[in-house]
Amino acid sequence: MTVAAWVSTNCLHDRRRPVIAHTIHAFERAGCVGGIIVVAREDRLAEIKKIVRDEKLKKVRSIITGGKHRQDSVRAGLDHLEATTRYVAIHDAARPLITAEQIERVFEQCRIHAAASLAEPITDTLKYADAEFFVTGSVDRHQLYAMQTPQVFEWRLIEDAYSAVYSENASVTDEVSAVERLGRKVILVPNTDLNFKITYPRDLALAEFVIHERTR
């Protein structure tokens, strides 16, 4: 089985290598991945091409320009898949702590259920608040999960899901949401390992520490 996977990226760096390089290396090591499409901002294309050359990344098939929103970038990636693709994995490059083992776990569940996503169980206490930030109630965290990536799908399923999104002029924040709109079920693969998204400078420092410890 092969998986076509791509990442959207903002190309943050740690002190040793670009964040996207860590991300793509994980997909390179995953045996289920046959090809990678990198979707990025137009002004980053040259930089990413250099990273791919310098890091000797062999599975990268294309580096293409993304769209205004996440769903537009995913649509661009879908349009560049090879005709023989059977499964598609979508992953955020800003999650460089992903491992090949995690990718394989999600893929195996996709083979069984047609759609699967990595997800982290919610452990924090959650509260509702009003516009002035006063607490108005509590959220039952039982069976609540924070969605992560990769999200992996049978090609026909994700293609149908995105065709429906655009034909209905809808907006989705992730691929699971697109598939849910078709009334299809997506199985979650609970993840207790670190796979957070780098959003703030503090996240970059923490990710660098985790990568260093894993290397040790």
Is the pLDDT at 11 greater than 50? The verdict is no
pLDDT mean over 151-174: 96
The pLDDT, as a whole number, for residue 13 is: 52
Quick one: pLDDT at residue 163? Answer: 97
Distance, CA of 29 to CA of 15 (rounded, Å):
22
Note the pTM of the prediction, 2 decimals: 0.91
Mean pLDDT of 22-35: 94
Alpha carbon 150 to its chain's center: 4
pLDDT-based confidence at 36, cuts 50/70/90? very high
Binning pLDDT at 50, 70 and 90, where does residue 3 land? Answer: low
Mean pLDDT of 67-86: 93
State the residue range of the domain holding 116: 3-215
Secondary structure E strands in the chain: 3-9, 33-40, 60-65, 87-92, 115-121, 126-129, 135-139, 145-154, 187-190
Lowest mean pLDDT, pick from 26-35, 133-142, 152-161, 206-215: 206-215
Q: Are 40 and 11 in contact (CB under 8 A)?
A: yes
User: Which CATH number belongs to the domain containing residue 43 in this structure?
Assistant: 3.90.550.10
Residue 95 in this model has a pLDDT that exceeds 60: yes
Are 204 and 133 in contact by the 8 Å Cβ rule? The answer is no
In the chain, how many domains are there?
Answer: 1
CB contact at 8 A, 70 and 173 = yes
pLDDT at position 17 = 79
Average pLDDT over residues 188-215: 90
Candidates 7, 49, 46; CA nearest to 28 is 7
pLDDT value at 7 more than 70: no
